[in-house]
Structure 1
Amino acid sequence: MIDKISPSLMSPVGKMESLSKVQTNNVSFSELLKQSLNEVNKAQGASDSMTEALASGRKVELHDVMIAAEKASVMMLTTIEIRNKAVEAYQEISRMQM
């Protein structure tokens, strides 16, 4: 069972750091998952607030709003795909003969 993973090897959008930057400290898998979901939530919140600011007429550049929305969308889709792969792996393992 995976219990620890280096945070530099995985992130919500796949911002993989180069091998020369790999850190030696380990973080529990559940903590890494919590951090990743918090990052996705922050991106969604930033996108929502920028969209609201644009709609209410505050000075916000349209391209900045679109970039924030696309970033949040990509992060959410990546999170969903990671979840789907984890469920598939769990189902495959549960089908194995002991």
Structure 2
Amino acid sequence: MNISGPSTPVRKLTPAEAQTSFKVALNDALHKVNEAQHASTLATSQLARGENIDLHQVMITAQKASISLQATIEVRNKVVEAYQEVMRMQV
């Protein structure tokens, strides 16, 4: 019994398509991190002004923003490390 189902061939991307796809994915990820940071800032300022906002929600929003920023920094560090490793390779 074949559980995987019918397989469809995977189309290989050209270098230009891969570059564009990577750029779009990276841009979307950075945009989401930025949105999380803005949401955290907004929630914190609402709490500071004494508006009706739950402290738990403020803390959760701040933690999500912090974790997403930390993950982005780690990905950046790995990309820089990989680039440096490629640059050290002898041709």
Q: 2:70 — aligned with what?
A: 77
How large is the RMSD of aligned CA atoms in angstroms?
1.8
Question: Could you tell me the TM-score, scaled by structure 1's length?
Answer: 0.74
Question: Could you tell me the TM-score, scaled by structure 2's length?
Answer: 0.79
Within 5 Å, give how 1:4-43 maps onto structure 2. 4=18, 28-43=21-36
Which blocks of at least 5 consecutive residues in structure 1 are unaligned? 6-26
Q: Which has more radius of gyration?
A: 2
Q: How far apart, CA to CA, are the structure 2 residues paired with 1:57 and 1:49? A: 12
User: Does residue 1:48 correspond to 2:62, yes or no?
Assistant: no
Q: 1:11 — aligned with what?
A: none
Q: Percent identity?
A: 49
Aligned residues: 77
Give the helix-richer structure, 1 or 2. Answer: 2
State the AA in 2 paired with 1:76.
L
> Equivalent residue of 1:58, what SS?
coil
Q: How far apart, CA to CA, are the structure 2 residues paired with 1:52 and 1:90? A: 39
> Equivalent residue of 1:60, what SS?
coil
Which blocks of at least 5 consecutive residues in structure 2 are unaligned? 1-14
Give the strand-richer structure, 1 or 2. Answer: 1
Deviation, 1:33, is 0.5
Flag the 1:87–1:62 CA change in 2: closer, same or farther, 3 A.
Answer: same
